[in-house]
């Protein structure tokens, strides 16, 4: 894991001084490397301790039977840890717009390398990472221009890459349900102690849901159900304080 983090850090540091062609090659290399961390590998089992004088044969059999061959494979990184490798530079300090664009190209390369099945299975993790690590990072949205850039980059990844190229129809339905349940239905916060998504996160979620609905055409029943909860307080156009 240390080697992966060091390599990704080196690629990110090279983005600022690279041209467009070099940046794309760096993005492809970083994406394929991170995607390889999701391949299951054999886990080396530690040798069982030598039997002491007081250890019985029954205890030895219990120790040997506790090793399950089906659990001998594991990925190098969890999905959350893998995506975190690309957001680490953002948490360490300010990065320029050129580096931010390069990082999003790395995300694109990574998602393409992982494939449709993986993206559909981990859609909630991917969206939560974008919202919490990129959009919620105050360094990325310190000015209106920076906020617009981040919203455009994340929106492009969700819409043009994930929504159009990687999600099946069933995956699009699940994506609408995820965005609706995790973001849209949380605004406004009606109960004490509830927190609502930021205006920027809500905007990204709304735009993506609209794009997914256009793809699906006539909304299937699962999508209609996800939007069927009544709003307490009147028609949408009369809500006060709407952030978008």
State pLDDT tens for residues 221-233. Answer: 666 555 554 444 4
In a domain, 234, yes or no: no
In a domain, 242, yes or no: no
Q: Print the domain residue range for 29.
A: 2-41+73-229
Per-residue pLDDT for 238 more than 50? no
Distance CA 174, CA 169 (A): 9
Number of separate domains in the chain: 1
Q: Which of 6-10, 42-46, 87-91, 204-208 has the highest mean pLDDT?
A: 204-208
Higher pLDDT, 196 or 20: 20
Render pLDDT for 16-43 as a digit per residue (tens, 0 to 9). 888 999 999 999 999 999 999 999 877 6
Sign of CA dihedral 76, 101, 183, 142: positive
In a domain, 65, yes or no: no
In a domain, 50, yes or no: no
In a domain, 205, yes or no: yes
* Pick from 90, 223, 86: nearest CA to 157: 86
In a domain, 46, yes or no: no
In a domain, 211, yes or no: yes
Query: Do 138 and 128 touch, CB atoms closer than 8 A?
Result: no
Q: With bands split at pLDDT 50, 70 and 90, how would you rate the model's confidence at 140? A: confident
* pTM of this structure: 0.78
Query: Do 38 and 75 touch, CB atoms closer than 8 A?
Result: yes
In a domain, 66, yes or no: no
């Amino acid at each position: 894991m240390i080697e992966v983090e060091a390599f990704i850090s080196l690629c990110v540091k090279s983005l600022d001084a690279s041209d467009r062609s070099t940046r794309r090659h760096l993005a492809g290399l970083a994406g394929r490397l991170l995607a390889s961390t999701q391949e299951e590998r054999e886990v080396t089992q530690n040798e069982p301790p030598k039997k002491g004088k007081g250890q019985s044969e029954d205890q030895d059999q219990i120790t040997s039977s506790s090793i399950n061959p089906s659990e001998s494979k594991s990925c190098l990184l969890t999905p959350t840890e893998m995506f975190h490798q690309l957001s680490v530079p953002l948490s360490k300090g300010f990065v320029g717009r050129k580096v931010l664009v390069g990082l999003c190209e790395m995300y694109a390369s990574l998602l393409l390398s992982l494939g449709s099945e993986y993206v559909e299975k981990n859609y909630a993790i991917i969206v939560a990472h974008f919202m919490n690590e990129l959009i919620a990072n105050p360094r990325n949205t310190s000015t209106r221009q920076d906020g617009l850039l981040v919203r455009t980059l994340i929106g492009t990844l969700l819409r043009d890459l994930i929504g159009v190229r990687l999600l099946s129809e069933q995956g699009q339905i699940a994506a609408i349900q995820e965005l609706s349940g995790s973001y849209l239905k949380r605004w406004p916060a009606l109960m004490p102690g509830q927190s609502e998504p930021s205006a920027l996160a809500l905007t990204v979620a709304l735009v993506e849901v609209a794009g997914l609905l256009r793809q699906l055409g006539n909304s299937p029943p699962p999508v209609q159900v996800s939007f069927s909860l009544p709003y307490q307080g009147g028609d949408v156009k009369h809500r006060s304080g709407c952030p978008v």
